[in-house]
Structures are given as structure tokens and as C-alpha cells.
Structure 1
Amino acid sequence: MVKIGLFCAAGFSTGMLVNNMKAAAEKKEVAAEINAYSQGSLADHVADLDVVLLGPQVAYTLDKSEEICKEHQVPISVIPMADYGMLDGNKVLDLALSLVD
């Protein structure tokens, strides 16, 4: 089971993206636990995750977030704006999986 954390500012649209990612994982028969959190809580959750994705609206925190993730050997990436805006669960799931393979 891959544990994916999406980190953003408030979590409203990210919550919808999480639901789309869960549907995509089910369709692909990928065992995944996917949750959304506020970016400010990254340090509280990173130890329990396999991969971290940042919403484009918090991309400016990438350097600081990379430092936190590096301590736990957790890969991190920023979700592309187009995929985030389209709530493309399939593409964002593929991004997450590509980071842990």
C-alpha cells in the first residue's frame, strides 16, 4: 500500500482531487491511501507517508518542504497546475506512483 499525502493551502479543491485519485487507484487496482492536509502540517505527517505532493498554490514552500521530506527519505513534487486545475486524479496518481517506483 502506497501512502500519498497532498499538501495545500486550505484543502477544498485538493479534497476533490483526492477523491478523483482514489477512484483512479481503484480503477487501476492500486492499493493506495491518499489524504489531503494543510501545508503547515507537513512535518506532522511526513513520517507516515511514502510520497508528498504539493498543490501549485504552495509551490513557493518547495525548498522548505524538501528539507522536511529529505529527513524522512520521502520523495516530493509539485502537482502540475494543469493537472491540479482539471482535478485529474489519474495523472496526479501517476505522478505520485512514479516517485515511489
Structure 2
Amino acid sequence: MKILLVCAGGMSTSILMKKMEAYWKENGEELEIKAVGLAEYQDICSGYDIVMVGPQVSYRLNEIKENTGLPCAAIESFDYAVANCPNIMKLAKKLYSEK
């Protein structure tokens, strides 16, 4: 699964990205993930299966869906804040099934 994480600048999602990579690996799942800011996502989205959006930019979710044509969802604020990887993985798998 190839996930593009989008947040305001790509910094806070980098932390989450590392935790997600570790969690997926522990669970024997393949994952390629990249964290980028709003200014970058359109340039690279074609190489990804799904887009997950940080809560701080969730107000741009519809625009991101339109621009990428990929399954997209915002990560819940609490799950994002505490890096609740089991919940985030469930959301990612749900999105991937919509592909």
C-alpha cells in the first residue's frame, strides 16, 4: 500500500509517518508512505494508492479528493495526536478497498 500523508507543511506528519511504518512492519504489512505539505501533494500524488490528510488541513479534503482522484480521508484528531496506528491502519485499509 502506498500512502500519501498531507498536512500543512509536512513536518508533524513525518513523526506520524515513522510510527506508522514501524506499526505496519510489526504487523507484516507492506507500506510505502510519504509525508508532504499542501504545496507538494499534487506533484507526486499519481504514485500513490490513497491520500490521508492531517486534521489541521481537513478543511481542504474535498479539494484534495478532486485534485488527486484518489480515495482520501482525514485522520481523526485524537488518532493523529496520539499516533493511534491501529485505527489509522483500519482507515487506510478502508480507503484502499475503495480504490
TM-score (norm 1): 0.89
> Higher relative CO (CA 8 A, sep ≥ 6), structure 1 or 2?
1
Cα deviation per residue 1:32-84 (whole Å; 9 max; x = unaligned)?
101101122121111000010010100111121110122xxx21000101101
- Residue 93 of structure 1, CA deviation: 2.3
Give, in whole Å, the separation in 2 of the partners of 1:13 and 1:89: 15
TM-score w.r.t. the length of structure 2 is 0.90
Report percent identity of matched pairs.
32
Greater Cα shift, 9-18 or 45-54: 9-18
SS in 1 for 2:12: helix
**Distance (whole Å) between structure 1 residues aligned to residue 12 and residue 42 of structure 2:** 22
1:12 aligns with 2:11: yes
- Equivalent position to 2:84, from 79, 88, 100: 88
2: CA distance, partners of 1:5 / 1:58: 14
SS of 2:39's partner is helix
Task: State whether residues 20 and 88 of structure 1, in contact with CA within 8 Å, keep that contact through their aligned partners in structure 2.
Answer: no
Stretches of structure 1 lacking an aligned partner (at least 5 in a row): none
Mark the runs of 5 or more structure 2 residues left unpaired by the alignment. none
Superposed CA RMSD:
1.1
Count of residue pairs brought into register by the alignment: 97
Per mean C-alpha deviation after superposition, the further-off stretch among 75-84 and 35-44 is 35-44
